[in-house]
Amino acid sequence: MEELKMRKIGIIGLGHVGATIAYTLVTKGIADELVIIDTNDDKTTAEEYDLRDTLARLDTFTKIIPQDYDSLSNADVVITAFGNIDSIKMDGDRFGELNFNTAAVEEVAANLKTSGFNGVLINISNPCDVVTTLLQQQTGLSKAQVFGTGTFLDTARMQRAVGQALHEDPKNVSGYVLGEHGESQYTAWSTVEVKGHPITKLAEEKGLDLTSFDQQARRGGWLVFSGKHYTCYAIATCAIKLAQAVLSDARLACPTSVYLEEYGHYIGYPAVVGRKGIIEVNSISLPIEEKAQLDNSAKIIKEKLNK
Amino acid sequence: MEELKMRKIGIIGLGHVGATIAYTLVTKGIADELVIIDTNDDKTTAEEYDLRDTLARLDTFTKIIPQDYDSLSNADVVITAFGNIDSIKMDGDRFGELNFNTAAVEEVAANLKTSGFNGVLINISNPCDVVTTLLQQQTGLSKAQVFGTGTFLDTARMQRAVGQALHEDPKNVSGYVLGEHGESQYTAWSTVEVKGHPITKLAEEKGLDLTSFDQQARRGGWLVFSGKHYTCYAIATCAIKLAQAVLSDARLACPTSVYLEEYGHYIGYPAVVGRKGIIEVNSISLPIEEKAQLDNSAKIIKEKLNK
Amino acid sequence: MEELKMRKIGIIGLGHVGATIAYTLVTKGIADELVIIDTNDDKTTAEEYDLRDTLARLDTFTKIIPQDYDSLSNADVVITAFGNIDSIKMDGDRFGELNFNTAAVEEVAANLKTSGFNGVLINISNPCDVVTTLLQQQTGLSKAQVFGTGTFLDTARMQRAVGQALHEDPKNVSGYVLGEHGESQYTAWSTVEVKGHPITKLAEEKGLDLTSFDQQARRGGWLVFSGKHYTCYAIATCAIKLAQAVLSDARLACPTSVYLEEYGHYIGYPAVVGRKGIIEVNSISLPIEEKAQLDNSAKIIKEKLNK
Amino acid sequence: MEELKMRKIGIIGLGHVGATIAYTLVTKGIADELVIIDTNDDKTTAEEYDLRDTLARLDTFTKIIPQDYDSLSNADVVITAFGNIDSIKMDGDRFGELNFNTAAVEEVAANLKTSGFNGVLINISNPCDVVTTLLQQQTGLSKAQVFGTGTFLDTARMQRAVGQALHEDPKNVSGYVLGEHGESQYTAWSTVEVKGHPITKLAEEKGLDLTSFDQQARRGGWLVFSGKHYTCYAIATCAIKLAQAVLSDARLACPTSVYLEEYGHYIGYPAVVGRKGIIEVNSISLPIEEKAQLDNSAKIIKEKLNK
């Protein structure tokens, strides 16, 4: 009997986000094998044992494999969450991590290539759209196989902000935040509905200030960041939902950081996620002014890419 | 129609442990209402929003209620996880937090009393046995209603250490670590079995060094602590398993920090956990030398209580 | 310490649907206390023991309480799933069970009233809209506290049919089947979107035959029924999702059998479900022909009510 | 990018047990791909659609593949649950299905062989130990790759019976029912402990009648059978726990129907279950009279095998 494959997930970067993802994959029994990798050996050992010590209290089992790129050769999904939180200034720009992470991309991509990894790569590292673009270029994986969490998180925050204002479950709010996972992101209000009703109509009727919701989505992370010096739970939850869609070929329709031919790089836009990564870009018709916002956001990503 | 009660859990103290518990109760849909309380308002707001931002991506719903002791009046369970991690010295003694937490107990107990809380209180704050004893005294809740995580965590670490050495799932290892959740704890090897076989017999046959496993259970936390400066996942998992046993009246048999008449304070010992807290102390016959170790550990807890 | 309430759910009627719901609530650890009631004592005992025998293999605990209406006095939710499957003719009309179930309603409603039950009642028994109307009238519970699964199931079938034809996850299909949970139901195509795109537009572009999807939603149950002589999994899944929305006050927006003032009885229509049952009727603007279909369906329910 | 494997499970036989397993694997999101096979095409289509109709209401996705033996070539686990419930007489002997199932084994084994299936085969079909023995012989899979649920279910029933009598969670009861999954099974009381205390000692102290518990384990299935004409929930739960242990290489220690060299066939005995099936037979020392009971039970299985 040959060695049969199990559900194997790798996490590269064990800061608060990577560690939270590792913990969640173990505590929910989602991963059968979990490869955890970080530049800090002691930190990795610490996370390894904090996770192993949970196993006697869980009904599921996960094999924890520390610091082993080779083991990623047959992984289903790798999630990149490297970064240097200390390099983020409180000016609210996720590009603070750019220099640090550009260097990290080269190392991670080279290691992934050497490992023979050929699954789906989900990037969280910031600036998300830039790093995702670089990871795709440098790993040699296809554009379908690589994508970023992008505005999937910002959309969740917009759903929360709108839901909170209207006393609704965030899941009753549909629609998209598009563009850069960064300051130039924007809510495409033409796509947003609350329980099936266009929000633009509700806004008129109830005198809602949509720009404040947009601001809450954009600045939501900084509210969290300023109180705890990092954010982890919402972003981890987004990444895991995407990973599960890959594992079960769920064809999840959602905004992510996806490669658009039109711009020549990754950017937050609706897509469909399945076993092979991005199954489909879900093209939508945007009003002229919302399309202009997307173009503008793409331009900003491009500029940073060119640095 | 009167307001019907929901599953309500409170967490007091939002350090890494408390925040991890909050996240887990939300991401697994265990709590319907979650009250989160910390001395730091900004930290509480940050956790509140990092959790709210997950809701659009989860299939379950939890209402997050920040900084509201009054709301605990009809809570089912409160978990105390306050502490000052910076006061822990790397000398490996959980009593480093004693002075800080003794003061915190007074405030927390007074606030709980005022709130009218009458559910089950599960304490994690260290030194666990001392703080649990003080919380019971000062809240006026019954000895059944209050207990600590105690050696439930250390037992998980012993199971992990033995399992790792013998290539076994930790759940195939049964038995107890007893006494103080601290340096004087010990594994009661007479109670430990591996897949139904007494470990003392296996140790003879295979030449196992049980003292090294005992050491790994005792020092396991410090391995994690030294790499990440705190521990959170295993302790959170233990606390949640205890909370679930309370919520569903599961009659879970396990070691916890429980009040023993013989010593007049809380100490790690086998018990049964259900809807009313400690349903039963599960008295076991220990060999003379293991009973002596328990007496010794109790003496150490007593001394610290008397300070 | 007073007896603290646990999550308690009652099921009345242990045919395939009721038993599947009972099993799911136990195997997923959703209910802490589960009251199961049926007119057949032996069947109830059989289900009780088949469920109790799972407990040694599950990580959660549920207390099973057989044949005890009194115990429903403090239940959170009761699900009615009584019926006489043998009375359904293969003519595809759920009204086959009408005479049988009208008699059952009287008994069940009287028993619920005597028990003092004051939670939320979710009815599955067919004809769903008629039985739900009668249960509300005879239990004396408010119109918010009582609702039926109605077209929540038919909508799931429409989503499946559309998803299957377009190679989409059913969850990428939004919108409503409205009206009677029966032959006069219809898909309100004006409300249906696929990944945010109106299906009417897709239908034009791709030459889709929407009437066949509508037929598949309506006849979907009979495909299942003709192969296994009952349906259980999809309806149980719908009922449980509604029950969970009640338990956690989730404000779930979905079509259910809800009381509409305009018609004076229950009918499948969009609503919002929370801790108190129907929190809100989600009024939507329908094109004239879709509104006429709703009126027609209401008329048919009314006629059967008047019998 | 090559087609990456997903968690694939096959179920052969869609009676109440097989269908319940299929439903559970879908509703808990355990299987990514689920192959369902039955001799009755209409029944299979009915189950397929009853399951597909759940997908719009679940947070997970499972691909349902009906009637496709070829698709099992890369399945991780196949569960056999074929049988003819009508051939079981109420005399309480699971051997009633022997003739029917012997014929079925030949067909199933031949089809599995042709498919190229090389994963782990978990058999439920009765008489379990006989059918498991035949399936191993006829599929050509190794003795590790094939095992049966055997007394894993009867042990759960013994735990329930003892737990019920002593007001304990069944999980507080450890130990084994051994031998045939049939009338000659027996509880090895020397192995049974309640919260760590040997039950033989408790029985003396409290005057417990252990033979009645033994009887309840053995006859437990018939109590359920007589009320609902089949049993499904407990056996499905057992089979799924075993399948999950295989999928995650959990090294679950438990009694199953396992091949013992000593007897030359399968029989209920302690083992360890992991990714390759039976990782290890967990040999235990039994008192002379309990060993004699095992020998006797093996003799009975042997006789039926020789028919």
Specify whether B136 is located in the same domain as B35: yes
| DSSP helix/strand/coil, A215 | helix
Q: What residues of C are in contact with residue A252 (Cβ under 8 Å)?
A: 169, 171
Q: Which residue of C42, C50, C193, C195 is the best one to mutate when testing the D interface, meaning the one whose CB has the most D CBs within 10 A?
A: C50
Q: Is C16 annotated as a binding residue?
A: yes
**A-D interface: how many C-beta pairs under 8 angstroms?**
68
Within 8 A of A144 by CB-CB distance, chain D residues are 1
Domain assignment present for C1: no
Model pLDDT, residue A95 = 58
* B170 shares a domain with B249: yes
pLDDT at position C137 is 97
Catalytic annotation, residues of D: 181
Residues B160 and B78 in one domain: no
The answer to whether A5 faces chain D, any CB pair under 8 Å, is yes
Q: Which of D30, D20, D228, A28 is nearest to B23 (CA)?
A: A28
D57 interfacial to chain B (CB closer than 8 Å): no
Closest CA to C202 of C150, C165, C255: C165
pLDDT of residue D2: 47
Strand, coil or helix: D87: helix
pLDDT of residue A1: 44
pLDDT of B47 over the 50 cut: yes
User: Is the domain of B158 the same as that of B204?
Assistant: yes
Average pLDDT over residues B232-238: 97
Q: Is the pLDDT of residue C85 over 90?
A: no
Stretch C237-246: mean pLDDT, rounded?
98
Q: Determine if residue A85 is labeled as part of a ligand binding site.
A: no
- C21 reaches D (C-beta below 8 A): no
HEC profile for C230-284?
Answer: CCCHHHHHHHHHHHHHHHCCCCEEEEEEEEECCCCEEEEEEEEEECCEEEEECCC
d(CA C214, CA C220): 10
Q: Which residue has the higher pLDDT, C96 or B257?
A: B257
Measured in angstroms, the CA of A178 and the nearest CA of chain D are apart by 24
Q: Are residues B135 and B175 in the same domain?
A: no
Q: Is the pLDDT of residue C90 over 80?
A: no
Residues of chain B contacting residue C141, judged by C-beta atoms under 8 Å apart: 1
Tell me, what's the pLDDT at B160?
96
Output the average pLDDT for chain B. Answer: 93
pLDDT higher at A101 or C108: C108
Q: pLDDT digit string (tens) for A180-207?
A: 999 999 999 999 999 999 999 999 998 8
Residue among A166, B111, B59 nearest D61 (CA): B59
Determine whether the annotation assigns residue A175 to a binding site: no
Determine whether the interchain pair B195/D251 forms a contact, defined as Cβ–Cβ distance below 8 Å: no
pLDDT score of B4: 67
Q: Given a cut of 60, is residue B302 above it in pLDDT? A: yes
Is C2 domain-assigned?
no
Q: What is the pLDDT of residues C188-214, one digit of tens each?
A: 999 999 999 999 999 999 888 999 998
- Name the 3-class secondary structure at D46: helix
Last residue of a domain, one of A116, A148, A180: A148
CATH number at residue C75: 3.40.50.720
Is B4 part of the contact surface with chain C (CB cutoff 8 Å)?
Answer: yes
Helices and strands, number each (H, E), in chain D: 9, 12
**Chain C adjacent subunits, 3+ CB pairs under 8 A:** A, B, D
Answer yes or no: do D278 and D163 share one domain: yes
User: What domain count does chain B have?
Assistant: 2
Question: D284 and B172: CB-CB below 8 Å?
Answer: no
The tokens for B239 are 């606390």
CB contact under 8 Å between B46 and A223, yes or no, is yes
**D27 assigned to some structural domain:** yes
A249 touches chain C (CB under 8 A): no
Residue D2 lies inside a defined structural domain of this protein: no
Establish if A2 belongs to a structural domain. no
pLDDT at A108: 97
Query: Which chain A residue has the Cα nearest residue B164?
Result: A52
Residue with the bigger pLDDT between A134 and A88: it is A134
C276 touches A: beta carbon within 8 Å: no
Domain boundary among B92, B113, B148: B148
ipTM of the complex: 0.96
CB pairs under 8 A between A and B: 149
Task: Of A245-259, B150-164, D84-98, D170-184, give the lowest mean pLDDT range.
Answer: D84-98
> What is the rounded distance in angstroms from the CA atom of residue A291 to the CA atom of residue A167?
30
Query: Annotated catalytic, C265?
Result: no
Cross-chain residue pair A197–C251, CB shorter than 8 Å:
no
Contacts of C61 in chain D (CB under 8 A): 169
Checking if the pLDDT of B128 tops 70, the result is yes
Specify whether A163 is located in the same domain as A291. Answer: yes
Interface contact D143, partner A, CB < 8 A: no
Residue C76 contacts B where some CB pair is shorter than 8 Å: yes
Same domain, D113 and D191: no
Find which of C172, C173, C191, C278 to mutate to test the A interface (most A CBs within 10 Å of its CB): C172
User: Which of B148, B176, B192 is the last residue in one of the domains?
Assistant: B148
pLDDT at B300 over 90: yes
Q: What integer pLDDT is reported at residue C284 of this predicted model?
A: 95
Comparing B160-169, B189-198, C77-86, the range with the smallest average pLDDT is: C77-86
Band of pLDDT at residue A217, cut at 50, 70 and 90: confident
Q: Do D234 and C164 touch (CB under 8 A)?
A: no
pLDDT of residue A20: 98
Asked whether the beta carbons of residue B169 and residue D196 sit closer than 8 angstroms, the reply is no
For residue A92, pLDDT beyond 60: no
Q: Is A42 near chain C, with CB under 8 Å?
A: no
C-alpha angle with apex B246: B241 to B251, nearest 5 degrees? 90
What is the average pLDDT score of chain C? 93
Subunits adjacent to chain A (3 or more Cβ pairs under 8 Å): B, C, D
Answer yes or no: do C137 and C13 share one domain: yes
Percent of chain A with pLDDT strictly greater than 70: 94
Structural domain contains residue A3: no
Nearest-CA residue of chain C relative to D59? C171
Contact C303, C98 (CB under 8 A): no
* Contact list, C171 vs chain A (CB under 8 Å): 252-253
Question: Facing residues of A151 across strands?
Answer: none
Do residues D139 and D162 both lie within one domain?
no
* A159: nearest CB among B44, B56, B237: B56
Contact A69, A278 (CB under 8 A): no
Assess contact for D129 and D104: CB atoms under 8 A. no
Neighbours of chain B (3+ CB pairs under 8 A): A, C, D
Chains B and C form CB pairs within 8 A to the count of 68
Q: Which residues of chain D have pLDDT under 70?
A: 1-4, 85-98
* Residues making up chain B, counted from first to last: 307
Would you say C265 and C135 are in contact if contact means Cβ atoms under 8 Å apart?
Answer: no
pLDDT per position as a tens digit, C39-82: 999 999 999 999 999 999 999 999 999 999 999 999 999 999 99
**Cβ separation of D169 and B282 shorter than 8 Å?**
no
**Given a cut of 60, is residue C110 above it in pLDDT?**
yes
What is the greatest pairwise CA distance in chain B? Answer: 67
Range of the domain at B278: 151-306
Does the pLDDT of residue B2 top 60, yes or no?
no
Choose among C238, C222, C239: nearest CA to C230: C222
Contacts of D284 in chain B (CB under 8 A): 196-197
D156: closest CA of chain B, how far (Å): 16
Give me the residue from B43, B46, B56 closest to A156, CB to CB: B56
Q: Is residue B3 part of a domain?
A: no
Whether the pLDDT of residue C1 is over 70: the answer is: no
Q: Find the mean pLDDT for residues C240-263.
A: 98
Contact A176, A188 (CB under 8 A): yes
* Among B116, B121, B114, B111, CA closest to B142: B121
Residue B3 has pLDDT above 60, yes or no: no
CATH number, domain containing residue D294: 3.90.110.10
Q: Does C89 touch chain D (CB under 8 A)?
A: no
Output the pLDDT for position C223.
87
Q: Which residue of C has its CA nearest to B250?
A: C61
Residue D70 inside a domain? The answer is: yes
The answer to whether the peptide bond before residue C127 is cis (omega within 30 degrees of 0) is: yes
Q: B92 and B182 share a domain?
A: no
C167, C181, C229, C265: which is the annotated catalytic residue?
Answer: C181
**Interchain CB contact of A4 with B (< 8 Å):** no
Same-domain check for residues B139 and B175: no
Interface test with D, best of B61, B169, B284 (most D CBs within 10 A): B169
